[in-house]
Structure 1
């Protein structure tokens, strides 16, 4: 079935994954959308992007909410208006990502979170010098370099989603401590506007994708 899986990241944080194998029409028929979301969907050119958008709404429904509960603030960050739903789940934070045929949401009852989902592609190695310290890829096979660079990109995306401030540069402001793929977790830091913040992250393989969840330390 299109609902793929869930991951319990901690007692208060859970990630959910939807595999968009249905047709666009089938997805659309299953989702309750508010007018602004329909307008947003109609403005999308890519079928893949449309299915990713609807897959996120399917996951929102899967956990007992609807698109009417999903709102975005002035900076574009998503929130669930829990007072507008009959569910008793006390979710305080939500982060969203979709890539190719997968959509994901991650919800937390206490901690701020940011997530990213990326398909593992070897082309990430071509752009790695633009966003990361490539010494972190030394002495690895091409396969492991590709996965690790994808993790690092996901870490930086996830942290950016948490902060969501104009001017943050992946190579200049976000750095990661040394880690291995076997660790499945690590630490990263944001140095921006004379402020230093630290984050922890965990990462998982979902078929040919890397999923990263970050949170402030």
Structure 2
């Protein structure tokens, strides 16, 4: 099974799985139950492969049961652990943690990320970005804010007003403090982690915990 990246901490387990097998091979490996098969049959081809990728992560991590969804679309399982899921270009990133968690995986797309930087880079973030590593900083900060958005259940929508990444040095600080600022201007602090993984993808996850 093509696990291309794995992170194990005392409280958190993250895997990235590359969906490289055929749909038929995946179905043989995973042996879906009747409920899972019915859900699978409702999906488009692309969504079917994403669904199987998530089930493959479950299989690898030996997690039992179904993924359930809040009204907002946030996934959860019947457990005292939290989960988060992200997809990008044939890769599925999955995190399970004792803490509330949000995860994001991003393909390296320099032109696209530069074109939208004004939508998510604050003035107090722009000042610590090294110009020669601009694309790396943009992908990491975008990924942190995407993960925060998922962690906070999508209730705060502005990547400029509601999410802030504290100063860090790319490729030196792999543990970053980030903030969520609510409508009453109260600030909560979180810990973000990032890695550059196979095929140039960026993997970022955020925990509701200051370590």
What is the TM-score with the length of structure 2 in the denominator? Answer: 0.85
Hey, what's the Cα distance between the residues in 1 that align with 2:129 and 2:78?
Answer: 45
- Which residues in structure 2 correspond to 1:37-76 (within 5 Å)? 37-38=36-37, 41-45=40-44, 47=46, 49-66=47-64, 68-76=65-73
Alpha-carbon shift at residue 17 of structure 1 (Å): 1.5
Among 149, 156, 161, the residue aligned to 1:172: 161
Distance 1:44 1:132, change over 3 A: farther
Per the alignment, residue 87 of structure 1 pairs with none
Among 83, 101, 111, the residue aligned to 2:99: 111
Per the alignment, residue 205 of structure 1 pairs with 196
Does residue 129 of the first structure (1) align with residue 127 of the second (2)? Answer: no
Runs of 4+ in structure 1 displaced over 3 angstroms?
Answer: 32-46, 136-139
Unaligned runs of 5+ in 2: none
Among 77, 93, 102, the residue aligned to 2:82: 93
Unaligned runs of 5+ in 1: 83-90
Q: Secondary structure at the match of 1:170?
A: coil
Alpha-carbon shift at residue 61 of structure 1 (Å): 1.2
Distance 1:121 1:136, change over 3 A: farther
Alpha-carbon shift at residue 44 of structure 1 (Å): 4.4
CA contact (8 A) 1:137 1:145 kept: no
CA contact (8 A) 1:168 1:192 kept: no
Structure 1, residues 152-209: CA drift from partner, whole Å, max 9, x if none?
1110011111111434211121111111212112111111221321111110111111
Q: Secondary structure at the match of 1:15?
A: strand
Aligned residue pairs, count: 203
Alpha-carbon shift at residue 39 of structure 1 (Å): 5.4
- Which residues in structure 2 correspond to 1:125-204 (within 5 Å)? 125-133=114-122, 135-136=126-127, 138-141=129-132, 144-182=133-171, 183-194=173-184, 195-204=186-195
What is the TM-score with the length of structure 1 in the denominator? Answer: 0.82
What CA RMSD, in Å, does the superposition of the two structures yield over aligned residues?
2.3
